[in-house]
Amino acid sequence: MPGSRKNEFLRVERNLFEYANESGISGDGMVREDARKICFCSSLDIPSLNLAYLKAQPDKKDMESIELFFREHGNPYTIWMPENGNAAPSSELVELGLNHAMSLPAMIADLDEMRLDSQTPSGCRLLSVNRGSDIGAFARAAFNGYELPFDVREKFTEFILNLDPSRHPCNEIVVAMRGEEPVASGLMFRGKEDVGLYWISVVPHQRNRGMGSWLAQELLRLGKEEGYHHAVLQSSPDAASVYRRLGFREVGNFQVYSY
């Protein structure tokens, strides 16, 4: 793997770690990090929102400590490994009974080279969330955009309240509104080196209308105005083509395993 591509992958990785530790998304005791891994627990019974990120090939001690951490919180979890970077996809995880669930593209873009010229979709406006009391619309858009199970809705909203920008100014939160309905969500995290895009989602009945692309570009434009030169993200497989059209390129993958 070329050195520059590896360094770019590590930038995506660093932003993810900064986000987990500094955005407010995690409460006390919900993040545990050491030299070999970082565990993040959302307190929700949704495996994709609880993860153990392995920085190196796991050994038995690593797996035992991960299992203990999530058992303490009582939540199911997934395991992430970098395909390019410090470790490779692990057959050991499969041997331990985990299934390879998906590959998430790690992506980076040069903000100075991007054309951020999207048009506001008809009938839409962008709502900037400045305090915790405004996060309800963002939580509704994200909940519906990610198509989460109804029985976690109340806990999910409480979880999202941790992102309150008035307490965590590293977060820029926006909601796309069509009339009075929140139809898309997005968060820009101001990292030490780059901005990261998180929680980009569009409710099912508003997809394929350019909504997600417009919202992402609005956040990227802000990051550029604030003096950042690069943006990073972890994309879902389905959304990667949208980000490529915006100017992002893949620099590796996060391999996701689940029980």
Domain of 122 in residue numbering reads as 111-250
Residue pair 76/109 in contact by the 8 Å Cβ criterion: no
Torsion-angle region of residue 98: left (phi > 0), alpha (psi -120 to 50) or beta? beta
Q: Would you say residue 185 lies in a domain?
A: yes
Q: Both 116 and 214 in a single domain?
A: yes
Q: Both 135 and 238 in a single domain?
A: yes
Q: Both 169 and 243 in a single domain?
A: yes
Residue pair 17/38 in contact by the 8 Å Cβ criterion: yes
Looking at residue 31, its pLDDT comes to 87
pLDDT digit string, tens, across residues 91-119? 777 777 788 899 999 999 999 999 998 88
DSSP at 140: H
In the block, residue with structure tokens 């690593």:
62
Q: Both 93 and 43 in a single domain?
A: yes
Indicate if the pLDDT at residue 1 is higher than 60: no
Q: Both 118 and 97 in a single domain?
A: no
Looking at residue 98, its pLDDT comes to 83
Cβ count within 10 A of residue 183? 27
Q: Both 50 and 119 in a single domain?
A: no
Looking at residue 87, its pLDDT comes to 47
Q: Would you say residue 255 lies in a domain?
A: no
In the block, residue with structure tokens 């100075």:
112
Q: Both 166 and 97 in a single domain?
A: no
Residue pair 39/70 in contact by the 8 Å Cβ criterion: yes
Q: Both 85 and 116 in a single domain?
A: no
Q: The domain that contains 183 carries what CATH number?
A: 3.40.630.30
State the total domains in the chain. 2
| Entry pTM | 0.92
Indicate if the pLDDT at residue 2 is higher than 90: no
Determine whether 98 is exposed, middle or buried from the number of CB atoms within 10 Å of its CB (0-12, 13-18, 19+).
middle
Q: Both 143 and 90 in a single domain?
A: no
Q: Would you say residue 39 lies in a domain?
A: yes
Query: What does the mean pLDDT of the chain come to?
Result: 90
Looking at residue 86, its pLDDT comes to 45
- d(CA 232, CA 239) in angstroms, rounded, equals 14
Quick one: angle between helices 135-145 and 153-160, nearest 10? 130
- d(CA 196, CA 17) in angstroms, rounded, equals 11
